[in-house]
Amino acid sequence: MYNHFGSLDSDSLLSKLRYLAVGAGCDIIILDHISIVVSGLEDMGDNERRVIDVLMTKLRSLVEETGVGMILVSHLKRPGGDKGHEDGVQVSLSHLRGSGSIAQLSDKVIGLEGNQQDSEHAHERVIRCLKDREEGERVGILGHAVYNAEIGRLLPEELPEREEKFGDEREDPDF
């Protein structure tokens, strides 16, 4: 585990990630999250999108070169309309914050959805596949999870009594 808060220049980050993949033999690297990596770069100016494009290309090259699996966390932009993701708005690829290259260069994109404002169900999440390069027909709802505060983890769970509200075409816009 490499714990670092703040931005790193992309060459330093890639060097550390390459060491984890090759030198330390890590099979999977979790980068949480891409926005914090680029947030403090002084030479970025107002071009966060371009910086993320370049970083994503370098990360994809590292994955191809080393065979390491990489899980990249990305925040979401605010969707149009009155409601945000915290109100249960369905996640789409266009909501990924910063750059379209996050969706374009990823093999899989998974989103978590839930309505944090619904106190009775705020701990429930829908797990949605937004992109699956290898098996494109596997997009849509993958399952459900419930946050267990005692252990601090999301656990898979069937939610049959609310199943109708998790469909791809939600009947209840307030979910």
Q: Which residue has the tokens 């005692």?
A: 150
What average pLDDT score do residues 19-44 get?
81
Q: Does this model's pTM top 0.85?
A: no
pLDDT digits (tens, 9 = 90+) for 63-100: 999 999 999 888 887 777 777 777 777 888 888 877 78
Dmax (CA) for the chain in angstroms is 51
Q: Which helix (H) or strand (E) holds 63?
A: helix 48-66
Find the length of the chain.
175
Among 11-25, 42-56, 89-103, 114-128, the range of highest mean pLDDT? 11-25
Better pLDDT: 102 or 62: 62
